[in-house]
Amino acid sequence: MNYLLRFLEYIYLAITTCDRMFFRVFPFLVYRPEAKVISIGNLSMGGTGKTPVLFEILREYLENRPAEKVCVISRGYRSPWENSFYYLHGSGPHPPELTDEALLFNQHFEKVPLLLGKRRDRSARFAERKLQPRLLLLDDGFQYRRLKKDFEILLWDSHMQPAEAELIPRGKLREPVSRLVEADAILLTRCESASAAQIDFWQNWLAQRAHGVKIVPMQTLCEGLFDLYGQRIIEMPSEVIAMSAIGRPASFYQQLELIGLKVVHRVEFRDHHRFNEKELEKLAALHRQSGLPVVCTEKDRVKISTETAMALGLLTMRIRVLPCSGRSLISELDLPIS
């Protein structure tokens, strides 16, 4: 079995290497926008917190430069528009088939255009032609090579096991660790719940393999639980039902425990899952039987109607991802957007 996994790993490595070399041999196929392009991505499979990081950069940027235009470009993974194009802007109504990240983004930043589609170079061309932005934020862009980027942000989970830092299928990496040197900054995420030994290990490990690349320890901070109307809950429940359809549900449970909640029941679905009526009714029955509220992430809340949320006694956990240093993320990274 080990020989088979290593053989498959070599095949995967050959494919990713050929893909990279193709765009080096034919650089004219890479589009260079006039706007600055900031890419936020990772090497590993599963969630590492790209969406909260993108939100944080955008929030800081708009606070300091409210008059400047900015666009976000995303693949639209597992949506009907992944292989075409969708322009998300304004309060809607918008198609419910949009990705959970897209719906959540529009909820927070409805005035900021979000362009969905696998060909993100075409989205960038559309943005420059129609919107003339000063900044383009590229979601999950580390592996995308048709677009020239000014700054590569790479996320790395501090809870990852050393054995997982191998190419798939032997590990969880989509690309070899040698690509770490191509990042301009590496964000070491989830440090709030990692031990000092874990943080030191990964800081040293990353520094050895990405010499000269800035490594920034990050923490996920829970802003609290919010009700159906967006109001913060003052009197927190002691026990809850945790429901999640995210890449790393363990981080969700840890956040709930850090604010003093005991997770009595865990209901998990695969990442990006769209809930059907039968699943939600089963969850509502568990809520009625136990008398406990259901708690989910913002990413999952946008996929649930207000009527269903009432039946679940649904509460939403909100988070932010910030540097452990206490500085703003844009200042910590010294992003080239001035």
Cβ atoms 218, 159 nearer than 8 A: no
C-alpha 179/C-alpha 183 separation (Å) is 8
C-alpha 144/C-alpha 94 separation (Å) is 27
Cβ atoms 77, 99 nearer than 8 A: yes
Integer angstrom CA distances of residue 52 from 21, 59, 201, 318: 32, 10, 24, 10
Q: Do domains 2-220+322-333 and 222-320 have the same CATH topology?
A: yes
Could you please report the per-residue DSSP string of 62-109?
HHH-TTS-EEEEE--TTSTTTTS-EEE-SS----TTS-HHHHHHHHH-
Say yes or no: domain 222-320 is CATH 1.10.287: no
Say whether 278 sits in a helix, a strand or coil. helix
Running DSSP on this structure, what letter comes out for residue 7? H
Query: In which residue ranges of the chain is pLDDT below 50?
Result: none
3-state helix, strand, coil in the chain (%, to 5): 40, 25, 40
Q: Which residue is it, tokens 């008059």?
A: 67
Q: State both tokens at 234.
A: 């003052």
Return the domain boundaries, the chain: 2-220+322-333, 222-320
Threshold 0.75, pTM exceeds: yes
CA 148 to chain centroid: 21
Running DSSP on this structure, what letter comes out for residue 245? -
Nearest alpha-carbon partner for 51 in 160, 137, 123:
137
CATH classification of 2-220+322-333, choosing from 3.30.70, 1.10.1060, 3.40.50, 3.30.60? 3.40.50
Residue 46, C-beta contacts closer than 8 angstroms, at least 6 positions apart: 172, 247, 248, 271
What's the pLDDT score for residue 12? Answer: 67
Q: List strand residue ranges (DSSP E) for 180-304, in order.
A: 185-189, 214-226, 239-244, 262-268, 294-297
Integer angstrom CA distances of residue 297 from 45, 180, 315: 20, 30, 9
Within 93-154, where are the H helices?
100-108, 120-130
Amino acid at site 95: P
- Phi first, then psi: give them for residue 91, nearest 5 degrees: -80, -10
pLDDT tens, 123-167? 999 999 999 999 999 999 998 999 999 999 999 999 999 999 988
How many Å is the Cα radius of gyration of the chain?
20
What's the pLDDT score for residue 111? Answer: 93
